[in-house]
Structure 1
Amino acid sequence: MDARAIIAHLRRGETPSREELAWFAKGLADGTVSDAQAGAFAMGVCLRGLSEEGRVALTLAMRDSGDRMAWDLPGPVLDKHSTGGVGDCVSLVLAPALAACGAYVPMISGRGLGHTGGTLDKMEAIPGLSTNLTEERFKEVVADVGCAIVSATAEIAPADKRLYAIRDVTATVESLDLITASILSKKLAAGLEGLVLDVKVGSGAFMKSVEDAQALADSLVSTANLAGCPTSAVISDMNQPLAASLGNALEVAECMKVLCGQNGGPLAELSVSLGGVLLANAGLAADAEEGVARMLDALSSGKAAEIFGRMVAAMGGPMRFTEEWQRFLPEAPIIREIAAPQAGVVQAIDGEALGLAVVGLGGGRQVESDVIDPAVGLSDVVRLGETVQAGQPLLRLHAAREDAAAVAEAAVRKAIVIGEGMPDIPPLIHERSR
């Protein structure tokens, strides 16, 4: 095998063979392939694309570049993946609710990317909690509690870790083939028996159009199923934040309100919809509607909240977090209301701009080495179609410094458009399954 020959195939618009893609993925993981060759490979795939067979082969090759987990549990091993949005803290609700319904959820998650928040950063807003578990401890927590939300070890899909970094600096991030292989290689390495994909579309998502979201959903679903993991997708709206808060501790608070029965809304609706699809596909419900009913019961009965508390304690967090979560979550020293400049109806919300404002406050990373402030962010954000009066709060801004608060205030004022008449409000779920 030779990297130059494989890259030449791509340059001519030919899909490399399964054996060639396996060799290249191994070379990414062990350093045999150079950065220049990895960049040329990524550009070749981005410009020329792969066949469906080639996309599956690359995904499996990247999965097999490191460790693969195996489970021996008395229930199905399930998970979900979101393509990223703002105020999207579904994982913290979904994982314990699925566990309450008899599933096991080994959720290997990521950190914030660009304007979107990261599940691991949200979990680590809980004092003492560590998402860096050994594989042995990870398996113990999943078997005992029913779920765990952790970071990937260096041994999980190392080819993806290398190629992802290369894509970030070579303008090849948007390739459907590379996005698909990146997402699924890690999920398949976790040994899943069922997966649901939450593909976001709108101003706060990476995919801005329904057509682009459908293309990504089709690519992910077909590849995952051909790779042997039963998978469905839901296309959900991200033209406004999913939850009323953006920021790590603030989003944990939103999840706790849902888990403790204090709040419903879009966060709860999307969580139970995704869970319903998973339970039906795994045989834990007759259909998605029954699955939704089971998820709602897990929330209303308090069982999901109890499991979340056990998971937090098992991962080093407070023992009574579920009962006293308000006491444990950090608060920012500066909290100010951002008032509406005029009366009217909320016409549009630029979710990406809101997400970047949170990053600027210190709630996300601008470079990899940045330390996140878990307390900062935005809360009580207005919704599309909401009528506001002049001087009424559009949201509350949580900051660590006055200068950062001033910059964020200017950004969020531009991000929320107020006008006359009722705007077209897209549905929360565009398509329930593919």
Structure 2
Amino acid sequence: MEAYAIIRKKRDGERLSPEEISWFIDRYVAGEVADYQAAAWLMAAYLRGLDAGETLALTEALARSGEQVDLSGIRGVKVDKHSTGGVGDKTTLVLAPLLAAAGAKVAKMSGRGLGHTGGTIDKLEAIPGFRTAMEREEFVAQVNRTGVAVAAQTEKIVPADRKLYALRDVTATVDSIPLIAASVMAKKLACGADVIVLDVKTGSGAFMQDAAAAQELARLMVAIGKRAGRRVVALVTDMDQPLGYAVGNAIEVAEAIATLKGRGPLDLTELCLELGSRALCLGGLAVSLKTARARLEELLLGGQALGKFREWVAAQGGDPRVVDEPELLPQAPQKIPVLSPRAGYVVQINALAVGEAARALGAGRRRKEEGVDPAVGVLLVAKTGSRVEAGEPLAYILAREKGVAEAQELLAGAFTVAVNPPKTRPLVCAVVEK
């Protein structure tokens, strides 16, 4: 085989064999295929597309390019959840202890945030003392002991994807559904879970803003997972406004704790129950969605999920006192209101603008190597459908000194207030199981 022939074949719209895709990826990681050849192949794949078989072959080649996480030492059904990224998406912080309280084993590798979307690892590290770097033996032992562990994904997992994504980022080939699906699912397959629940976001704050494209991505990722022998379901969910009210690392932790106490936002609570019910059914831990949901609601109301969160935080070195004293989380010194210019109903909130405002304040990063400020962010007061009066706060900017003017400008244009209330949008737009 040779790289030139494989590039030409895909350029001409022909189907590549699994052996050709595997050879190309293996040689690229080994340095025998040059960046310019990989970039040419990516553009050919972007323009000509990859069918389901090619996408699966690419996914498996990416997954094999690095370390495979061996979870065989964990007793029980191993569950993982992946979100395609959104604004205010602190679902893992609620869902992981909730599923663990229900008897699932949540063994999750997560990443840091990049761009306007937040990363689970950044949120967890807002808890004083919380460690996200874990050795594999420690990770497995903690899941067996507590039912849950979330660790930072290492550089050894799926290195081929990291190299290819750097090229996609500079060659205008990022927004290819097969390439996105392979990138996401390679990491999920390499991390070894039995059950994978996918939360595919759509709307103004999502990577896939078009609902039809989000459903296509969901179908392809489910197909890849099933062909690889995993139990997979995908929910396409609304990200046309932030999830919950808190957008920022420490304040999202506080909101997750409130949700585990039964006092969280309705949309966040509902999404966690929906994702959790699907996970329990796929894992054989519930006989129906109705019984699964009833069990999860019982664990929320009874405090068992909150107790599991406390146990999880302590197990990874965090200060469990934050459960009862959220003020121990990092606090921003400034709280600046964003006021409504008129009376009426909030008919739209541009989630992307809210996410960009939080990033401007330091809650997110523009480059991978940047740090984040756990204390800053945006705290919404109104959501879509809320009635507001002129001069009432729509949100608060939680800040130090960085980025306040930029955040104010972004948030001033993020809210649309009109005379009549808006039509409601469903939180779960579609469920993809096949």
TM range (shorter): over 0.9
CA distance in 2, matches of 1:164, 1:309: 36
Alignment of 1:35-74 (within 5 A): 35-70=35-70, 71-74=72-75
Distance 1:429 1:39 in 2: 36
Secondary structure class of the residue paired with 1:56: helix
Q: Summarize the alignment of residues 14-25 of structure 1 with structure 2, pairs less than 5 Å apart.
A: 14-25=14-25
SS of alignment partner, residue 311 of structure 1: helix
Is the 8 Å Cα contact of residues 346 and 417 (structure 2) preserved in structure 1? yes
1:340 and 2:340 correspond: yes
1:375 is aligned to 375
Question: Does the aligned pair in 2 maintain the 1:28–1:163 contact within 8 Å?
Answer: no
Secondary structure in structure 2 of the residue aligned to 1:335:
strand
Alignment of 1:350 onto 2:350 = yes
Cα pair distance change 1:75/1:66, threshold 3 Å:
same
* Residues 155 and 367 of structure 1: CA distance in aligned 2, closer, same or farther (over 3 Å): closer
CA drift of 1:211 comes to: 0.8
The answer on whether the counterparts of 1:109 and 1:151 sit within 8 Å (CA) in structure 2 is: yes
1:123 alignment counterpart: 124
In 2, Cα distance between the equivalents of 1:372 and 1:28? 33
Q: Secondary structure at the match of 1:321?
A: helix
Instruction: Work out the CA distance in 2 between the residues paired with 1:278 and 1:47.
Output: 35
Q: State the one-letter code of the partner of 1:428.
A: L
Given that 2:360 and 2:404 are in contact with CA atoms closer than 8 Å, whether structure 1 keeps it comes out as no
**Which letter does structure 1 place at the counterpart of 2:349?**
I
Q: Do the aligned residues in 1 keep the contact of 2:205 with 2:239 (CA within 8 Å)?
A: yes
Q: Give the distance between the partners of 1:50 and 1:199, measured in 2 at CA.
A: 20
In structure 2, the partner of 1:193 is 194
Asked if structure 2 preserves the Cα contact closer than 8 Å seen for 1:312 and 1:321, the reply is: no
Look up the match of 1:279: 280
* Paired residue secondary structure (1:290): helix
Contact 2:74 2:140 in 1 (8 A): no
Corresponding residue of 2:303: 302
Report the AA paired with residue 147 of structure 2: G
Post-superposition Cα deviations, 1:393-430, rounded to whole Å, max 9, x if no partner, equal: 101110111x6222211110101011111112211111
Structure 1 distance, partners of 2:324, 2:290, is 30
Distance in 2 between residues matched to 1:81 and 1:92, nearest whole Å:
12
The CA distance in 1 between the partners of 2:414 and 2:206, in whole Å, is 15
Q: Secondary structure at 1:430's aligned position in 2?
A: strand
1:354-401 deviation per Cα after TM superposition (whole angstroms, max 9, x unaligned): 101111111111122221011111113411111100111101110111
The alpha-carbon deviation at position 319 of structure 1 amounts to: 4.1
TM superposition score normalised by structure 1: 0.96
Q: In the alignment, which residue of structure 2 is the partner of 1:267?
A: 268
Greater shift in the superposed pair: 35-44 or 265-274: 35-44
Does residue 229 of the first structure (1) align with residue 230 of the second (2)? yes
Q: What's the Cα RMSD here?
A: 1.4
Instruction: Say which is worse superposed, 62-71 or 339-348, in terms of deviation.
Output: 62-71
Deviation at 1:34, TM superposition (A): 2.0
Specify the alignment match of 1:139 in structure 2. Answer: 140
Note if 1:384 corresponds to 2:384: yes
AA aligned opposite 2:93? L
Give the corresponding residue for 2:177. 176
1:254 aligns with 2:255: yes
Any conservation in 2 of the 1:306–1:322 contact (CA below 8 Å)?
no
User: SS of the residue aligned with 1:283?
Assistant: coil
Give the aligned partner of residue 409 of structure 2.
410
> Would the aligned equivalents of 2:322 and 2:329 in 1 still touch at CA under 8 Å?
no
Distance in 1, matches of 2:139 and 2:24, equals 30
Corresponding residue SS for 1:224: helix
Which residue number corresponds to residue 400 of structure 1? 400
SS in 2 for 1:233: strand
Secondary structure class of the residue paired with 1:131 = coil
Does 1:155 find its partner at 2:156? yes
Alignment of 1:306-345 (within 5 A): 306-324=307-325, 326-345=326-345
Aligned to 2:206: 205
Amino acid across the alignment from 1:22: S
CA distance in 2 between partners of 1:241 and 1:91 (Å)? 15
Query: How many residues of Structure 1 are paired with residues of Structure 2 in the alignment?
Result: 432
Instruction: Name the structure 1 match of 2:218.
Output: 217
Give 2:290's aligned residue.
Answer: 289
Task: Please state whether the residue corresponding to 1:78 is helix, strand or coil.
Answer: strand
Structure 2 residue 413 is matched with structure 1 residue 426: no
For the residue of structure 2 that corresponds to 1:268, the secondary structure is: helix
The secondary structure found in structure 2 opposite 1:363 is: coil
Work out the CA distance in 2 between the residues paired with 1:178 and 1:408. 33
What is the alpha-carbon distance in structure 2 between the residues aligned to residue 133 and residue 141 of structure 1?
10
* Distance (whole Å) between structure 2 residues aligned to residue 345 and residue 148 of structure 1: 42
**Residues 228-283 of structure 1: CA deviation (Å, up to 9, x unaligned):** 11111111111111110101111111101011223241111100100101111111
Identical-residue share of aligned pairs (%): 44
Residue pairs, 1:86-125, within 5 angstroms: 86-125=87-126
Q: In structure 2, give the amino acid aligned to 1:342.
A: R
One-letter identity of the residue aligned with 1:354: V
TM-score by length of structure 2 reads 0.96
CA distance in 1, matches of 2:45, 2:22: 15
Q: Gaps spanning 5+ residues in structure 1: where?
A: none
2:369 maps to a residue whose letter is S
**Aligned residue identity for 1:378:** V
Would the aligned equivalents of 2:218 and 2:432 in 1 still touch at CA under 8 Å? no
Q: Secondary structure at the match of 2:322?
A: coil
Query: Distance in 2 between the 1:19 and 1:262 partners?
Result: 53
Read off the aligned partner of 1:151 and give its amino acid letter.
A
Report SS of the residue matched to 2:44.
Answer: helix
Shift of residue 33, structure 1, vs aligned partner: 2.5
Structure 2: how far apart are the matches of 1:394 and 1:430?
Answer: 26
In 2, are the aligned partners of 1:78 and 1:104 still within 8 Å (CA)?
yes
1:29, distance to aligned residue in structure 2 (A): 2.9
